[in-house]
């Protein structure tokens, strides 16, 4: 089965083609193309993603990204002049202006391109329908509807979070223990055998969730954040420290500096600092780490950083000098909570596999420390997505789309809609 997928839930315009086989028991997938165009620079000056701007960018960039993805997977085949005049399904094209009435720039490019290319050999179109920014989601959904109509292909409505879970089915995802041959590669296909129950820790800019998975498609959220998401906490505290947007990686980079040269940044270390500064204790809370449930809360951590910085300034401490120390502590506080809750849930629900997913899963320390923690639990396998598949991309949407397409879980083109708050 070949799936073409579209992702526009936030600030990345993504189109991918994934080939998949072997069904739900032993899904084997390979990425034929996975093109992502990031809008980060456009939103950077606003300090966050602006939904209307995101939609505008998506509608402008979908066709170029789509063309690249088709070309890379060998599916962009031009029609001959003869076929263009003979085969263009005029009646179908006439319906497109209505479907894309809110995306005029996309419409114009669509009507120009589609009559000139052959229908590719794909089996379904997967598109993210939520959660995310509704105006942004609509651009992708309407594009999928228009393609489906012209090509006569079914559409699979995909939950973005199921996409983050499914990223581990794609190439180069890792098995932490290397002892179980659960992820093998051949001819570019990643063959995966997953033992259930599985638990997924999903950590992104908008979500922090622990999801119990009994089998593919059967998800139960057993815990989630009550306020800010883990990624949001990285982003917001980074802003307080005046680090450049987008900020999760910046905190990680600064923390790495601390790890490399701890004495330079330690307030209590080194004979150099024998003033009041050195006794200033940089210790942040680990919110809800001991609570009996699996929920998270990161806004208190954010506030703690705010007060700590204020306090340091009042004492005329140059906070810049200690940015790596502070970043290391922020990162460690978040990691401690994430690992404590995930491993506790893994033991309680006797899971066989732990999956990490979402943008924050790119954090090297989180990956390293999670692997070390999971190693201590007998017979549990940790699955980490490839670094480049942690951030939003369309290949993961194709992977999730495959799991649904196998059950012929197709959407009604007239009813499919953006669902900003869609849950798993």
329 binds, among ligand KG4, Zn ion, none (CB under 5 to 8 A by kind): none
Interface with Zn ion includes 392 (CB under 5 A)? Answer: yes
Question: What would the x/- binding string for ligand KG4 be over residues 375 to 414, using CB under 6 A?
Answer: ----------------xx----------------------
Residue from 205, 223, 324, 385 touching ligand KG4 (CB under 6 A): that is 205
Interface with Zn ion includes 204 (CB under 5 A)? Answer: yes
Interface with ligand KG4 includes 206 (CB under 6 A)? Answer: yes
Q: Are 148 and 413 in contact (CB under 8 A)?
A: yes
The CA R_g of the chain, rounded to the nearest whole Å, is: 23
The DSSP secondary-structure symbol of 197 reads: S
Determine the Cα angle at 114 with ends 123 and 11, to 5°: 75
In the bound state with Zn ion, the residue whose beta carbon lies nearer, of 325 and 390, is: 390
SS3 270: coil
Interface with ligand KG4 includes 248 (CB under 6 A)? Answer: yes
Determine the Cα angle at 319 with ends 314 and 320, to 5°: 150
Point out which span in 78-86, 142-150, 263-271, 354-362 binds ligand KG4 (CB under 6 A): 354-362
Size of the site for ligand KG4 (CB under 6 A): 20
Interface with ligand KG4 includes 171 (CB under 6 A)? Answer: no
Which positions from 212 through 231 interact with ligand KG4, judged by CB under 6 A?
Answer: 231
Estimate the share of the chain in helix, then strand, then coil, as percent rounded to the nearest 5.
45, 20, 35
In sequence order, what are the beta bridge partners of 37?
13
SS3 14: strand
Point out which span in 33-41, 298-306, 307-315, 387-395 binds Zn ion (CB under 5 A): 387-395
363 binds, among ligand KG4, Zn ion, none (CB under 5 to 8 A by kind): ligand KG4
Size of the site for Zn ion (CB under 5 A): 2
Residue from 235, 295, 329, 381 touching ligand KG4 (CB under 6 A): that is 235
Interface with ligand KG4 includes 324 (CB under 6 A)? Answer: no
SS3 196: coil
Interface with ligand KG4 includes 100 (CB under 6 A)? Answer: no
Q: Which two tokens stand for residue 111?
A: 């009507």
Give Cβ neighbours of residue 112 (< 8 Å, ≥ 6 apart).
none
Residue 218 region, left (φ>0) first, then alpha (ψ -120 to 50), else beta?
beta
Give Cβ neighbours of residue 35 (< 8 Å, ≥ 6 apart).
14, 15, 16, 65, 68, 69, 72, 394
Interface with ligand KG4 includes 249 (CB under 6 A)? Answer: yes
Query: Minimum CB separation from Zn ion for residue 69, in Å?
Result: 19
Query: Minimum CB separation from Zn ion for residue 164, in Å?
Result: 6
Interface with Zn ion includes 19 (CB under 5 A)? Answer: no
Q: Which residue stretches of 261-387 are H helix?
A: 262-265, 299-314, 323-348, 364-375
Residue from 130, 163, 223, 359 touching ligand KG4 (CB under 6 A): that is 359
Query: Minimum CB separation from ligand KG4 for residue 116, in Å?
Result: 34
* Residue in 218, 236, 219 with CA at minimum distance from that of residue 227: 236
140 binds, among ligand KG4, Zn ion, none (CB under 5 to 8 A by kind): none
Point out which span in 189-197, 313-321, 353-361, 408-416 binds ligand KG4 (CB under 6 A): 353-361
SS3 223: strand
Query: Minimum CB separation from ligand KG4 for residue 400, in Å?
Result: 14
Alpha carbon of 171 to those of 13, 174, 192, 365, 380: distances in Å?
21, 9, 10, 22, 21
Q: Are 392 and 365 in contact (CB under 8 A)?
A: no
Point out which span in 54-62, 144-152, 204-212, 304-312 binds ligand KG4 (CB under 6 A): 204-212
Q: Are 123 and 2 in contact (CB under 8 A)?
A: yes
Which positions from 3 through 62 interact with ligand KG4, judged by CB under 6 A?
Answer: 10
Residue from 27, 140, 163, 246 touching ligand KG4 (CB under 6 A): that is 246
Query: Minimum CB separation from ligand KG4 for residue 132, in Å?
Result: 7
Q: Are 155 and 129 in contact (CB under 8 A)?
A: no
In the bound state with ligand KG4, the residue whose beta carbon lies nearer, of 16 and 360, is: 360
Residues forming contacts to Zn ion in the complex (CB under 5 A) are 204, 392
Residues forming contacts to ligand KG4 in the complex (CB under 6 A) are 10, 204-206, 231-232, 234-235, 246-249, 252, 358-360, 362-363, 391-392
């Amino acid at each position: 089965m070949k799936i073409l997928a579209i992702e526009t839930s936030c600030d990345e315009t993504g189109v991918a083609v994934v080939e998949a086989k072997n069904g739900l028991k032993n899904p084997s997938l390979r990425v034929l193309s996975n093109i992502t165009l990031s809008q980060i620079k456009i939103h950077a000056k606003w300090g966050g993603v602006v939904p209307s701007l995101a939609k505008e960018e998506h509608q402008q960039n979908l066709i170029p990204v789509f063309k690249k993805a088709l070309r890379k997977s060998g599916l962009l085949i031009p029609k001959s002049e003869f076929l263009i005049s003979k085969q263009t399904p005029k009646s179908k094209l006439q319906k497109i202006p209505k479907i894309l009435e809110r995306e005029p720039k996309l419409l114009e490019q669509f009507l120009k391109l589609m009559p000139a290319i052959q229908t590719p050999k794909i089996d379904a179109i997967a598109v993210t329908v939520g959660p995310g920014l509704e105006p942004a989601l609509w651009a992708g959904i309407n594009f999928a509807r228009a393609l489906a109509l012209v090509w006569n292909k079914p559409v699979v409505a995909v939950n973005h979070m199921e996409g983050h879970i499914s990223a581990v089915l794609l190439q180069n995802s890792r098995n932490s223990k290397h002892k179980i041959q659960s992820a093998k590669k051949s001819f570019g296909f990643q063959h995966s055998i997953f033992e259930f129950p599985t638990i997924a820790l999903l950590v992104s800019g908008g979500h922090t969730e622990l999801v119990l998975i009994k089998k593919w498609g059967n998800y139960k959220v057993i815990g989630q954040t009550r306020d800010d998401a883990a990624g949001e906490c990285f982003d917001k505290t980074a802003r307080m420290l005046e680090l450049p947007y987008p900020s999760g990686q910046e905190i990680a980079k600064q923390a790495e500096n601390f790890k490399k040269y701890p004495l330079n940044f330690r307030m209590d270390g080194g004979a150099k600092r024998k003033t009041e500064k050195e006794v200033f204790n940089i210790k942040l809370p680990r919110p809800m780490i001991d609570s009996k449930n699996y929920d998270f809360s990161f806004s208190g951590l954010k506030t703690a950083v705010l007060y700590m910085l204020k306090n340091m300034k009042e004492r005329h401490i140059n906070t810049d000098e200690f940015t790596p120390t502070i970043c290391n502590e922020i990162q460690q506080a978040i990691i401690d909570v994430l690992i404590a809750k995930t491993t506790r849930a893994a033991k309680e629900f006797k899971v066989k596999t732990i999956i990490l997913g979402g943008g924050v899963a790119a954090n090297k320390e989180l990956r390293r420390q999670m692997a070390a923690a999971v190693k201590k639990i007998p017979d549990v396998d940790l699955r980490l997505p490839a670094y480049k598949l942690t951030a939003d991309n369309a290949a993961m949407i194709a992977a999730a789309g495959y799991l649904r397409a196998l059950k012929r879980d197709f959407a009604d083109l007239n009813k499919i809609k953006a669902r900003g708050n869609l849950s798993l």
